[in-house]
Structure 1
Amino acid sequence: MQIPIEWQYLNIAIKNTKEKPPYIFEPYENPIGRFQLSCYPLSDAPLEFKKITQEELSSKKWRHSIDCSEKNETHIFICARDDQALTAKYIYNINLRNDSRILDQLKITHSVLDSIVIVPLQERIIAANLDKYDRFLASLVASYDLLYSAINSNSYIELIIVCANQIDAFLRLGIVIKKQLQSCSNDIEIKYLFQDENEKGILERSVFNHALELGIINQTLHNELSQLYNLRNRVVHRYIISPINTRDMVEVSTKYLEHLEKVRILLREIEEQQIGKSFGIYGNGFVRAKSFDNVEIRRAHSWANDKHLLKRFNRKITSEKK
């Protein structure tokens, strides 16, 4: 479904809340209501679905009702789509009934409901991988806040760590795109972009090796990145127990920033190889924009907000009304 940029996904924002139904959203700024969506296999559908006629099931239209309690008013929407039972709610304080802000949010809610599509079974793996790819990009976007914060505060250890993470991320994305170019496919080798808590991930040195094998980097750059990685480990793990000085970290930080730019340019070249193809992350007729518009900037800011979940880095998302 198409979630408005202004809406924050709360399941990951609220501590100890699992990513399971209901999936909860509310505006980043001045929330006065909350949208919830639950999705179940039709075989496990709640009792209210027993009341839906076969004609309603075929029409795929939303059945709308309003429930009132002492404190809240809830708009309830239920619908069956393909093999899934969907229940959506928009909840707000009953004192806000007919408030223009609530009416605006209800219009948005209807647009969101109209946008919902059940991904065909055979396409659900790639859909899940694309979601992980988006989360990867969100983390990469947010990492620049940490990078600039480290630069501005002369926090050398943090700068080295963030640069190392970004170089690793650029190479991982380059590997995924290069493999798509070789196979002329949309397949995303998600093991490079996502590592679950209990998974054994691909280590940075292995990423360097894979990038070398695919021709993304040459042997000289591979050696330089390996040497930098050794320096990073020395700074992170042996700063106190080794002769390294804080002054030495200035040079290491500078080298990391230089190599970060080298790898970024290499990634851009690989991306451009795929633009205009009929496959891949950057294929299907996409072209590189000369500049970002306000919508793309707000989307990037929302990604960063969701990754940080700290007021220190929080950005305003709502578009200014003219």
Structure 2
Amino acid sequence: MKHWTEPNGILLIQIPIDWQYLNPGHNEYEEESPYGFQPYEDPIGCFQLSCYPLSELAPSVADANPQGVKKLSWKESRLDDSEFRTHLFFGAYHDQALIGKYIYDASLEGDDRIAEQLKIVNQILKSVVIVPPSDRKLAADLDKFDRFTGSLAASHDLLNSAIDSESFVEIIAIAANQIDAYLRLSLVIAKQLNEQTNDIETRYLFQADGERGIMERKVFDAALKLDVIDQEAFDDLSALYDLRNRVIHRYIISNIRTRDLVDIAGRYLNALEKMRLALRGFEQRQADKPFGVYGKKFGKTSVTEDSVRRLHASANDKHLIKKFKRDVGGGKT
């Protein structure tokens, strides 16, 4: 199984590793209730989970439980029509009202596969953990961190494909992205080390559509200031930044030649390796600390078969195309 965190850090659930979280990858879904899940391959139904403040959805229950509902139990009902069958699940836990749905085509009524899916749904519902309000920001920030590392893993598939096909412009663009990512992650760790905190500066790890984020040049400046890189590395990265912009924006209207791209791509790959090693140094410095994303508390430095499969699943969520799809173990958990 792999954990899923509600985007605001309110709750955690365990879903099968071969199930996809639908909201970020489909235009019809927003990052808000209901949250949708289904198998990557050949889905026959969709599971949805919603959470709302108990005081808003069930004020009488909230009034009767001023310290929160201590035990989670689910009440089942049905909501069917001529096209779809819907199994409904209602629950209350701590300060949250919960609604689960499993929806499938009416023609599948009585299908053994639906019965198996409903068993999985019941396992998911039993796995619900409500995060204490004081820890919800950290839970949401850790989820952004995990999505960031999944996207970084996915970018290596793109880079390897570009190298195999000798697509030099693509190599330059992706390597620049990865250098930026390594520096951002190094900055997060450096600040945690300096302040001895679990706080994650997610402004370095996520930029929503329409949001003004931290630009690449600012990342270079911050990395130099916090000794993530030295002046020589800063100057090299700045020179590469100018070359990359020339390649991307002025290839046609400048004197740059295609053969020049080979040299620029090679320089980017060399710089990428140096930044990877710099990041590894920060990870190792934090590994024995009782705080931070790579500290002892969260155990992210340990590499297991399950952790690799979860990372592959996260990369699959980033790609959402078959060319780069990794096997995450089929029906295994």
Superposition TM-score, scaled by structure 1 size: 0.90
Identity of aligned residues (%): 51
In structure 2, the residue matched to 1:226 is: 238
In structure 1, the residue matched to 2:187 is: 175
Deviates more, 1:64-73 or 1:100-109: 64-73
Secondary structure of 2:130's counterpart equals coil
Alpha-carbon deviation of 1:100? 3.8
1:189-246 Cα deviation digits (max 9, x unpaired): 1111111223222121221121112111111111111111111111111111111100
Structure 2 CA distance for aligned equivalents of residues 287 and 90 of structure 1: 33
**Aligned residues: CA RMSD:** 2.4
Contact 1:57 1:79 in 2 (8 A): no
Aligned AA (2:57):
A
Alpha-carbon deviation of 1:16? 3.5
Alpha-carbon deviation of 1:170? 0.2
Go from structure 1 to structure 2 and tell me whether the alpha carbon gap of 1:318 and 1:28 turns closer, same or farther (over 3 Å shift): farther
Contact 1:276 1:287 in 2 (8 A): no
Alpha-carbon deviation of 1:97? 4.3
In structure 2, the residue matched to 1:112 is: 124
1:106-165 Cα deviation digits (max 9, x unpaired): 222122112212222222222221121122112111111111111111111111010000
Structure 2 CA distance for aligned equivalents of residues 51 and 266 of structure 1: 53
Structure 1 CA distance for aligned equivalents of residues 269 and 99 of structure 2: 49
Is residue 238 from structure 1 mapped to residue 250 from structure 2 by the alignment?
Answer: yes
Structure 2 CA distance for aligned equivalents of residues 287 and 61 of structure 1: 32
Is residue 78 from structure 1 mapped to residue 126 from structure 2 by the alignment?
Answer: no
In structure 2, the residue matched to 1:266 is: 278
Structure 2 counterpart of 1:296, from 265, 290, 307: 307
Alpha-carbon deviation of 1:180? 0.4
Deviates more, 1:125-134 or 1:154-163: 125-134
Structure 2, gaps ≥5 residues long: 1-12
Contact 1:73 1:93 in 2 (8 A): yes
Go from structure 1 to structure 2 and tell me whether the alpha carbon gap of 1:52 and 1:121 turns closer, same or farther (over 3 Å shift): closer
Structure 2 CA distance for aligned equivalents of residues 88 and 183 of structure 1: 41
Structure 2 CA distance for aligned equivalents of residues 68 and 87 of structure 1: 16
Number of equivalenced pairs: 317
Aligned AA (2:316):
N
Go from structure 1 to structure 2 and tell me whether the alpha carbon gap of 1:280 and 1:111 turns closer, same or farther (over 3 Å shift): same
In structure 1, the residue matched to 2:157 is: 145
Structure 2 CA distance for aligned equivalents of residues 143 and 104 of structure 1: 35
Go from structure 1 to structure 2 and tell me whether the alpha carbon gap of 1:195 and 1:265 turns closer, same or farther (over 3 Å shift): same
Superposition TM-score, scaled by structure 2 size: 0.87
Aligned AA (2:307):
E
Aligned AA (2:249):
H
Structure 2 CA distance for aligned equivalents of residues 221 and 57 of structure 1: 55
Structure 2 counterpart of 1:310, from 321, 327, 331: 321
Structure 1 counterpart of 2:136, from 121, 124, 127: 124
1:35-50 paired onto structure 2 within 5 Å: 35-45=47-57
Contact 1:29 1:318 in 2 (8 A): no
Structure 1, gaps ≥5 residues long: none
Structure 2 counterpart of 1:156, from 156, 160, 168: 168
Structure 2 CA distance for aligned equivalents of residues 283 and 90 of structure 1: 38
Aligned AA (2:20):
Q
Is residue 136 from structure 1 mapped to residue 148 from structure 2 by the alignment?
Answer: yes
Deviates more, 1:117-126 or 1:185-194: 117-126
